[in-house]
Structure 1
């Protein structure tokens, strides 16, 4: 069942990159993206089982305490702590049994215990539980050893969530634990944002589809499969238009087709001003091109614009540059288009295990390899020795990106550098 749709507006605010044509710093570009992009994905209602990975479009509050009653954290025996003799073991009569969904009827009196299984409601009169492997039973009695603490192994009513508490809000991307929390509150359906429709294609006469014969001078199209893999965990509706030859008419027709079907167009290659780079010229002809050069390495030729109400991003043709630009700029843009609350990726400061010199004025993303102790503790980060934006090995062997600020001109061994681990939330 689909809920009431929002009224879609322009994907980007007018003239979001207006101003002097200059190399944009990374933070300027990101600020422009986040400030200009608006949510275009309408709300819809889905079964809670299908909400994983979707962006929540409502507030979820607890109608009752979770758990709704005191329950056992272990299999064992429940009793009143006041029944225990001090300081030695205590012999208690077994008055019955409680299991999940089958509570003990009645109250537990002093001198009694009830066998209880994990998740079962703690009977009235009981406040403490001992694990079954810590006791002995004989002749309808249980021997509780000395030392049991009051309230042991008892999950309290509302200790997870109190009634009325807001646990999730609009803009949150649902993780498995969030789905479980919604179910625990009795929710069977959730309002989420529809999946973002993303169109992709590659350009270039030299590009050959994966698995095909490779004539001299040709290269395999790695970028489009890379984009598909980057987009897969983001739960988008993918429109794959394949590889386009370097012909202005074909490129322009493909862009027009994609704009009619998608919220976002991603291309790789043809993002510079070369004679055979038709993507930027086509966008300018049928839409608007807001920016196309960034002061970053790798990734300087990154284009942004729109065709009608559809956002366009032209990624560099070199695969490392395409991945870096996707992670640092496209992911935040997609979050904003889909109504997701975007949070910057985790950045940690660790000692450099390398030396380098750098020109000022641009931000660089080096491929970093974590230096760890035997127990896994991160003690520093080394730089992959080759920086070429076409060397995929540098990303395959890397553990993350080393972010070097524009003003930095030199890094010495032991200097603290900013490391963005690939496995951290918000990056990859």
Structure 2
């Protein structure tokens, strides 16, 4: 069994000694093809090349002519030739939808009408529940609303190949299923490629999948296509038999913990019934208890009041009726993260906790969450997944009684989600602190 090793002759390399990508997937007509692998491994680079947004350089500044010659006689070579000759039309949904308002201003209806090249808008609007958003400005949308609009805008275009770079962030379970249904309909007559970390959603969507392995930030290798169930199971086990490559020392295990008996769990706080009234929405919360050392999940569709509930617990918003009287120190990680400041990650965390240099902090937070190589980067330089990991650690680093995390899985890959869950649970149990988590995964 071989361990991952960098190959020769990259498809693309950033700079002289930068990240290198080896191989590319090939879109297949009438199918949804998945791309599955860790963050920073080259999936978005592959999509950018295949969609014509970026030219591969073969690691040596090669021209398009040289690229096509190097892949001549293959399906990939034929596809790339069509891209260069404008013989294939592509549509692309970007990974980070929260950046859309920076490049487009106007109404949702205006954006969707511009992209509706095949007269599919009414059906997509109904499937994605976009009608209530049509009169809204793009700049006023939440992350989940932006995600649905971006998916519909891409699907409404008249293209030969559609690329969707992560469709699950900020969407609830029902919205993910509706998005999958819309994308599956596209694939009946077109080619579709989807990058996704939600394994259940990928299983629902795709017929086949390319796995991507390597060293994040250094190089990535794209495998040949595999059946989606076969590919997902190989990814979970960490061993790819056809390539004879082991990418992980241990398989990913979805652990099930038996709940502790209530009498064994000391009480942290109680609160009475409260409500929050908006113009068109009312949240009513029944009286409840928060126990020490527990991790409690908060589950429900988008727009139902989950974020409002924890904002009230965090003291970010006041209830309309009821008085919580919690008198607790609370640490809160919001759903939508902004880091428009140039503070290095290391300085950001040092400002939060005096424990930064301790072996405990490094072994329990920094190493498991993969932050070692991010310490000298500034917060504004971080990708969505990197910022999410730093925000989770920052939240758990504060001295508090209650920790509230709103959608910590957004933009994290499978391994990072599992590790974040372990870190949160281990932290809660070892310190007897209480953790409440809103998530759809």
Asked if Structure 1 and Structure 2 have the same fold, meaning a TM-score greater than 0.5 normalized by the shorter chain, the answer is: no
Q: TM-score, normalised by structure 1?
A: 0.23
Q: TM-score, normalised by structure 2?
A: 0.23
Greater strand share, structure number: 1
